[in-house]
Homo-oligomer: A and B are copies of this chain.
Amino acid sequence: HTPYPRTVTICCCTRTHTPCQPALWKMTENCFMHHRTKVLTIDTMNPNVKKVEYAVRGPIVQRAVQIEKELKAGAKKPFSEVIRANIGDAHAMGQRPITFFRQVLALCSYPELLEGNEFPEDAKERARRILQACGGGSIGAYSASQGIECVRQDVARYIQERDGGIPCNPDNIYLSTGASDAIVTILKLLVCGEGRNRTGVMIPIPQYPLYSAALADLGAVQIEYYLDEENCWSLDVSELRRALVAAQQHCSPRALCIINPGNPTGQVQSRQCIEDVIRFAAEEHLFLMADEVYQDNVYAEGCEFHSFKKVLFEMGPEYSDTVELVSFHSTSKCYMGECGFRGGYMEVINMDPDVKVQLTKLVSVRLCPPVPGQALLDVVVNPPRPGEPSFNTYIKERTSTLQVLAEKAWLTEEVFNTVPGITCNPVQGAMYSFPRITQITGNLLLAPDMFYCMKLLEETGICLVPGSGFGQREGTYHFRMTILPPTDKLKIVLEKVKQFHQSFTQQYS
């Protein structure tokens, strides 16, 4: 019997328009092409979606989930647990939430708690203010699509303070479902044209794969500029120019994405470099997108976070009146690590007012970002102030979380650089190391870094993401590992990777 073809959709069954019995196609010759063919198959689905890749939750992670189930079912392995160092998921790795934030969220969820004495007055005051701004005093009401107005005001005040007084207009703030949502929304606005006129977007390599995934989904052209591994993953304008010129042959470059501090590469851009990038964007007529979700995660001595907004405005009206910039932030990273709440915002600067109307319309289709995430964002940008009852605990928790992250960043770099065949740039910021592995080979099925990470997972239970998921210079191989496991565990993880690397290179080089 001929297997029935997946993509045929026209019924040649004798009883046309009556779907056949499930078993029939196995029995009658003239009944194998019929309606039972799926409408939606891999051959008939959206081809852009097929091109989407997202390694942070890719095949290695799927295998990790499988192994966890095997362990649970009693399978014998050379390890007792899977350690997920693949994703920047701080709470999952044991980081504690900030007490004050969670108190406010509990109060917002169940306002009856406002009557009791369990919670400090400053937490109650924040919760009351948020609830008053919600329809019917409930976080169960939709908010404005752009986000709750008082939260946007608090965000604007926070940015203004961060940037030394440079004004921030709440009308330019759009709250979002994590930063990813806002990034995809802006990319969507930018995409147009066909063939050589198709929108091209410049992204770093290595990059956070949300960018490549969103561009594939939107059918836009990915323009890759390489970060300089030899110089701590720094960004060089001449490389931007090389990538741009090459791309102009086959697409219409319109936007430049920057991730600072870098993901997966952890570099923190110097003020000078940011200025150069802005000048480049102005000269080359590019829309700037600054992914600044790790802005509080800066560890290396001599490094400091400079916001693109601040540098832009310090460059004077020639730039600050003209360059279109969107900056993204999130509640998922920094010292909060509240990934599950999907809170975030973007600030749009110098956006054409007509386009802004379109942006507001577009976000309204999804009604509003999750309100608990908006409430969380509000306390992140409006935390306890000196003199308030929760201030000391808040500062203590925040400082200690960031201090521990800094120590783990140093530890990671240090240990990796003792391993022959691994070189690791300083983890200046963010939450990841992205070491390079040399002298490795793959097998017939897997690229070397995928082979390496898969072996590591099977032998040690440690789940990393191969460098190919982020992009890397051809012939070089890396992996991304978060610095998030608790210090004790991180030491063990690093030791295990070290041992694995030694035996792996002995076996496969």
Residues B40 and A189 in contact, CB atoms below 8 Å apart: yes
Q: Does A38 contact B (CB under 8 A)?
A: yes
A164 to B324, CA, bound (A): 57
A106 to B368, CA, bound (A): 22
Residues A361 and B287 in contact, CB atoms below 8 Å apart: no
Residues A365 and B192 in contact, CB atoms below 8 Å apart: no
Give the chain B neighbours of A169 by CB distance below 8 A. Answer: none
Could you tell me which residues of chain A, from 338 to 365, have a CB within 8 Å of some CB in chain B? 338-342, 350-352, 354-355, 358, 361-362, 364-365
Q: Digit string of A204-219 for contact with B (CB within 8 Å is 1, else 0)?
A: 0000011001100100
A61: nearest chain-B partner, CB-CB: B364
Residues A364 and B37 in contact, CB atoms below 8 Å apart: no
Q: Does A143 contact B (CB under 8 A)?
A: yes
Q: Digit string of A108-148 for contact with B (CB within 8 Å is 1, else 0)?
A: 01100100101000000000000000111011111111000
* Copies of this protein, total: 2
Q: Does A301 contact B (CB under 8 A)?
A: no
Q: Digit string of A45-71 for contact with B (CB within 8 Å is 1, else 0)?
A: 111011011101100000001000000
Chain B nearest CB from A327 CB (Å) reads 15
Q: Which residues of A contact B (CB under 8 A)?
A: 9, 11, 17-22, 35-42, 44-47, 49-50, 52-54, 56-57, 65, 87, 89-95, 97, 102-103, 105-107, 109-110, 113, 116, 118, 134-136, 138-145, 177-178, 180-181, 184, 188-192, 209-210, 213-214, 217, 254-255, 282-283, 285-287, 317-319, 321-322, 324, 336-342, 350-352, 354-355, 358, 361-362, 364-373
Q: Which 7 pairs across A and B sit closest by C-beta, in order of nearness?
A: A92-B135, A340-B371, A106-B110, A91-B138, A92-B141, A105-B109, A57-B364
17 contacts between A and B (CB under 8 A): A18-B283, A19-B318, A19-B322, A38-B351, A40-B190, A52-B362, A54-B365, A87-B142, A105-B110, A140-B338, A142-B339, A178-B366, A178-B367, A209-B365, A214-B365, A339-B367, A341-B371
